[in-house]
């Protein structure tokens, strides 16, 4: 993982366009990591799978089962209920 200071980024913003691996942005005065930047071509799921650890197989299996069990009609019902709840909170409606 690369470590880059704020001043270096201000001088050379092209660092982001050629990014091949993750990079830490560091405040060198306070010795703190401000942010971690990942390349755009990395999938978001890959980071989630790395962080999931020993439970990652359970997470992906559960997601697939949930998607298979939901139908279009149930999604419409869920959206309708959510809309009614939001309107009830906003306008004080009771149903």
Note whether 68 and 83 are same-domain residues.
Answer: yes
Compute the average pLDDT of residues 72-86. 84
Question: Would you say 37 and 25 are in contact if contact means Cβ atoms under 8 Å apart?
Answer: yes
Predicted structure pTM score: 0.41
**Tens digit of pLDDT for each residue in 31-75?**
899 999 888 766 555 666 676 676 666 655 655 555 566 666 777
Domain span including residue 19 = 2-37
Note whether 31 and 59 are same-domain residues.
Answer: no
40 DSSP 8-state letter: T
Number of domains in the chain: 2
Note whether 66 and 87 are same-domain residues.
Answer: yes
Q: Is the dihedral of CA 75, 81, 84, 90 positive or negative?
A: negative
- The residue among 83 and 48 whose pLDDT is bigger is 83
Note whether 33 and 8 are same-domain residues.
Answer: yes
Cβ-in-10-Å burial (0-12, 13-18, 19+) of 68 comes to exposed
% of residues, the chain, pLDDT over 70: 63
């Amino acid at each position: 993982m690369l470590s880059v200071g704020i001043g270096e980024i201000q001088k050379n913003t092209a660092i982001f366009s050629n990014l091949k691996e993750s990079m830490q942005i560091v405040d060198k005065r306070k010795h703190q990591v401000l942010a971690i930047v990942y390349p755009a071509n990395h999938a978001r799921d890959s980071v989630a799978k790395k962080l999931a650890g020993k439970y990652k197989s359970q997470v992906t299996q559960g997601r697939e089962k949930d998607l298979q069990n939901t139908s279009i009609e149930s999604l419409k019902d869920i959206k309708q209920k959510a809309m009614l709840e939001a309107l009830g909170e906003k306008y004080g409606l009771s149903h």
